[in-house]
Structure 1
Amino acid sequence: MAVRSGFVVAALVALALSPTGAIAQSAGPQGTWLTQAGDAKVRIKSCGNALCGSIVWLKTPIDPNTGKPQVDDKNADPQLASRPIIGLQIFGDMRPVSQGKWSGHIYNADDGKTYESSISHTGPTSLRVEGCVGTLCGGETWTLTR
């Protein structure tokens, strides 16, 4: 589905952190980020000592095939396949690994799977989201929207 195309690469993620292991509020990636494809916005916030990220906007929030809001229909768990994409937490365990970098797992709504990932805060308005699936690695740059 084209709406979720940015999540395939986004399944490969990395986030910024402080050297002490505590997330630096003013210099961290907390905020709302537009994916490189421009098809989704992800709000990142602190969740204890980790970072969480949830989808808060879709360029195409209504599934053209059903006329209803986009749902997690690629999820293999039938109980989760009907949950809305908007509001879906795609990561919640991003932990500090070095200055300006977090690692953990990210959920890929394109295929309904979770992958190891990392995120790097590369500038005040840019976030590099990277990761690997087997030997295939990739990434994209997200832009701060607010």
Structure 2
Amino acid sequence: MRVLKSGLTAAVLLAAGLSGAKAIEGTWLRGDGNARVRIAPCGDKVCATNLWIGDTSSGEEVGDRLVMTLAPEGEGKFGGTAFDPKRGRTYTIVITTSGDRLSTRGCILGRVLCREVTWTAAR
């Protein structure tokens, strides 16, 4: 799940009953079919961990993860930062949910260089 306001812990974000908060927790399939990730609490943050990667030529591997600090920004929308420990990069991230779909928009360089990825809930 590469590119992709603190104050709330992962436990609060994912379990407090905030409208739509639980919608990001679970296993997701990337729109291009090349990845399966699990989004779940990890300490006081939220982690997206690669469970399966089809094509590893871009450097993605099983076990890679993003460590996210997120806060609700409205109905089905969360924003914050995502740290990629493998690459040593921090991204701004916005996650939007709608039913069994999720989209992530991660940016670097002051939101100048961004990438949006769509996801579908794994069944």
User: Which TM-score applies when normalising by structure 1?
Assistant: 0.57
Q: Deviations over 1:63-107 (max 9, x none)?
A: 7xxxxxx77xxxxxxxxxxxxx32232123223232211222224
What corresponds to 1:129 in structure 2? 104
1:92 to 68, 71, 75: 68
| Identity between Structure 1 and Structure 2 (%) | 28
Listed as ranges, the matches of 1:1-146 within 5 Å are: 7=2, 10-11=3-4, 23=18, 27-47=22-42, 50-60=45-55, 85-107=61-83, 112-121=88-97, 123-134=98-109, 135-146=112-123
In the aligned structure 1, how far is the partner of 2:88 from the partner of 2:21? 33
- Please say if residues 120 and 127 of structure 1, whose CA atoms lie closer than 8 Å, have aligned partners that are also in contact: yes
Q: Structure 1 residues 120, 131: CA separation in 2 closer, same or farther (over 3 Å shift)?
A: same
Q: Deviations over 1:92-124 (max 9, x none)?
A: 322323221122222458955221111011x22
Q: Structure 1 residues 36, 124: CA separation in 2 closer, same or farther (over 3 Å shift)?
A: same
Q: Choose 1 or 2 for highest CA Rg.
A: 1
Residue 60 of structure 1: how far off its partner (Å): 3.6
Q: Which runs of 5+ in 1 are unaligned?
A: 1-5, 12-17, 64-69, 72-84
- Please say if residues 65 and 85 of structure 2, whose CA atoms lie closer than 8 Å, have aligned partners that are also in contact: no
Structure with bigger helix share is 2
2:119 is paired with a residue whose SS is: strand
- Computed over aligned residues only, the root mean square deviation of the Cα atoms, in angstroms, reads 3.4
User: Which TM-score applies when normalising by structure 2?
Assistant: 0.65
Q: Which residue type is aligned with residue 37 of structure 2?
A: V
Q: Which runs of 5+ in 2 are unaligned?
A: 5-12
The higher-RCO structure (CA 8 Å, 6+ apart) is 1
In the aligned structure 2, how far is the partner of 1:98 from the partner of 1:48? 24
Structure with bigger strand share is 2
The range that moved more, 86-95 or 101-110, is 101-110
Q: What is the total number of aligned residue pairs between the two structures?
A: 111
